[in-house]
Structure 1
Amino acid sequence: MRNCLLYIFILSALTSCTEESRYADITEKGPYQDGFFILGEDNSLGNIDYSSNDFTKFKTNVFFSENQENLSSIPEGGLTYGKWLYLISDEGIIKIDRYTLKKDIARTDTEVRNLCDITVYKDHAYLSVANTTAPKILKIDLSTLKTVDSLSLTSVPDKIFAFNNRIYTLIKGDDSQYSNKIIAINTGTFNIEKELNVGFGPNDFAPIGNQILISCHGHKTNGTNDEDGSLWVLSTNNTVKEVFNWSAITPNIHEDIQGIGTSYNGLVYYLANAELYGVDGIDPNAFVQASKLSDRQYDRISVFNYKAVAVHKEDYKIDIFQDLELNKSINSTAKPIIAVD
C-alpha cells in the first residue's frame, strides 16, 4: 500500500522540530558515522546504500553486508535518534544501530502495518498508520517498539511531526472522502486538540525558525484548475496562514507542489510539477521570484543540515544541492526511495 505516496526523501531534524536531543549522548561510533543512508528498492526488497558527508566514501547494500539478510520490505520513511536508526514500511518498523548497521529488533504485527511516517517526542516514537479501514496514530516505546497508546482517526494520516509540545499529522485529502486538514494532538491526553484547515492535499512540512512550513499539493480534475499548490505556515499559537499560492506566478496554469524542505541557514527548497525551486526565507514576494535550480525532473526532495537532496524521477540518481546550487550527483545501485542522515 502506498497511501502516503512513495516519497523519496532525506529525513533530518524534521522529525522533531525543536531539535530535541537528536544527537545527544552519542557514545558509540562505527563505520557509518559522519554520513547518510540512501534507502531504496531492489528487486522488491529494501536496500540501504551509504555515503559519507564529503562524498568520498560510498558503499552499497550495507544492511545486507552487516546482517547477511535483506530488508524484507521497502522502507517508506525513517529517522535517526541517538544511536538508533528507525525505518518504517508497509510491513512494520525496524530498529538498527545507526553506526554499525546491525539490526536490533523489528515489529511486524498487524497493528504496525501500512506505516506512513514517524516522529519522536520526549523519548517516544509516534507513527502514522495509513490504513484506510482503521487509520490511527500510535505512540510506541523507542526501546522495545511496543505500543504505549493509540489514537483512532476518521481520516487517513500522512506526514507526522512534533512541534510546540504537540504532535501534528497532515491529512492528505481525497476527492470525495477526506477534508484537507492538519490535526493537532495533545501529547498529555493523547486526544485531538484542534483541526486546522489548509490547502488541498497537505503533503510535506519543514521547520523554519519558530514556525513550520507546510506544502499542499493542489487539485485538478477534468482539465479544470480547482486549486493550485500552496504553502502555509503553522505558528506556535496553533494557527495556520497561507504564504504562497502558485496562481501568483501562473494564474492560468495549474501547478502541483510535491514536497518541501528547509536548510539550517534558512533556505527553502520545494518541488513544483517535479521541478526543483529554491528561495531564501519565507517572504511571499520571495516565493514568487524563486529560482528553478535544475532542468531535471524529481520525485522528491528533502533537506538535512545545509544540503538538499533531490531524487531523479526516471533513473537511480540523486542530486545534492547546497546554497541553492548543485553540489554533487550520486548514482545508487537501487531505486532510491528515502535517505536518512
Structure 2
Amino acid sequence: MHYFDHCASTPPREEVIQTLAEVMRIHYANPSSIHQAGADAGQLIERSRGLVAKLFKTKPEEWVFTSGGTESNNLAIRGAAKQFAGRGKHLITTMVEHASVYETFQQLEQEGYAVTYLPVDELGIVSVESLAAALTEETILVSIMHVNNETGAIQPIEEIGELLKSRPKTLFHVDAVQSIGKLPIDLAGWGIDLLSGSAHKVRGPKGVGIVYIRSGLAIAPLFTGGEQERALRAGTSNTPAIVASAKAFRMAIEAAENHNKQWTLLRNQLIDRLAAIPELIVNSSKDSLRSAPHIVHFSYPGMKPEVIVHALEELGFIVSTKSACSSKDDKPSRVIMAMTRDARRAASGIRVSFGDEHTAEDVDKLADAIARTVVDLKPMERRI
C-alpha cells in the first residue's frame, strides 16, 4: 500500500517509537510528584522543552505542551482573546484556516467578539494590503496559518509580521501545523507572538502539540485544576509522548532542507502529470514561494471525492479529501470555495501529501493510478 496522506498523519519513526516505549517502561511516575521518580520524569519533560526551544532559537519557558494541534490553536486564540478583551474585541483571520481555528473564531463571534475573515486569491493566499485595511484600534489578535492544510498555499507570514510590528497591542498567531519540518520558521524575525504545532505531522506520536508563547506575554488558560505547563494546561503531562515528540521535531527540522528539495521535485512531477488529464483541475502551484513542497491538491468536477479515494485505495494508494478533521463532512471545501467560488470544484477535491519515503517512481505509479481511475469513473460523472 502506498501512503500519500502525510498531512493527516505520518508513520512514526522507529527511533521515536523506541523512545516512547523506553520512557513509558521506565519513567511512569507522575512528573508533578515530589518524589525522585516524579522529579526524573519532570526533568525529561524540561529537557524536551529545551530541545524544542533550541530548534526554534527561543527560550524553554516560551513553550507549552498540549494534546495536539487543535488544542494548541484553541489555547493560543482563545487564551489571547480572553486575556486582552479589555483592549478591544476585534479579531482577524482568513477564510481558509483549519477548522480548529475557523470554528474557534466563529464561537468567539457568538461570545461578542467581532471577527474579520479575510478573502484569498485564486491560489488561496491572503493579501497583506487587505489585512492592513482591516486593522482597527480594537484589533487584538491576527491569526493566519503558514501552510494551508488542503492546498499547500503559503501565506506571507514574514510580511504580515513586519506589518504588525508597528502595532504592539495586536498579537500575531500562526498555525504552523503543516509547516514545521517542511519550511523554515523565524519566530523572532517574523514578529510571531504565538505559534502552534503538532507532533504527529512530523512522524511523532499522536496526542502531543506545542504552543509558542512569546516571553513576557500572558494568556488565559483553557483548562484549570493544576499548575502544569505554566498553569496554562492543567492535567497530568504525557511524559513518554512529549519526549518522543521532541525527538520527532528535532529529526524533522534537521532533515527539512533535504526533504524540501525532494518533495519539490515530486510535487512538480505530480502536478505535470495531473495537468495532462483533461478532467482534472490542479489547485496547487509549482511556485515554491507560494506553495509548500509536500502537498498537491486537485479536483475532478462532477465526481464525489470519496469515490475517487476508495477507487485509488483499491489500486493500493491512500490519499484524502479535505483535512482529516473535516473529511467526513460532505459539504464543499470551504478553502476551495474561497479560492474559486466554484461549488463543483470545491465538492470534488483530492489531497495528496508526501513523506520522506516517497520516490519519483512512487509518484509515477500514483499518477498512473489516478489516470486509470478517471477513465474508470468517467461514465459515472454527474453534476454536483
Q: What TM-score, normalized to structure 1? A: 0.28
Greater length-normalized contact order (CA 8 Å, ≥ 6 residues apart): 2
Q: What TM-score, normalized to structure 2? A: 0.26
Higher helix share: 2
Higher strand share: 1
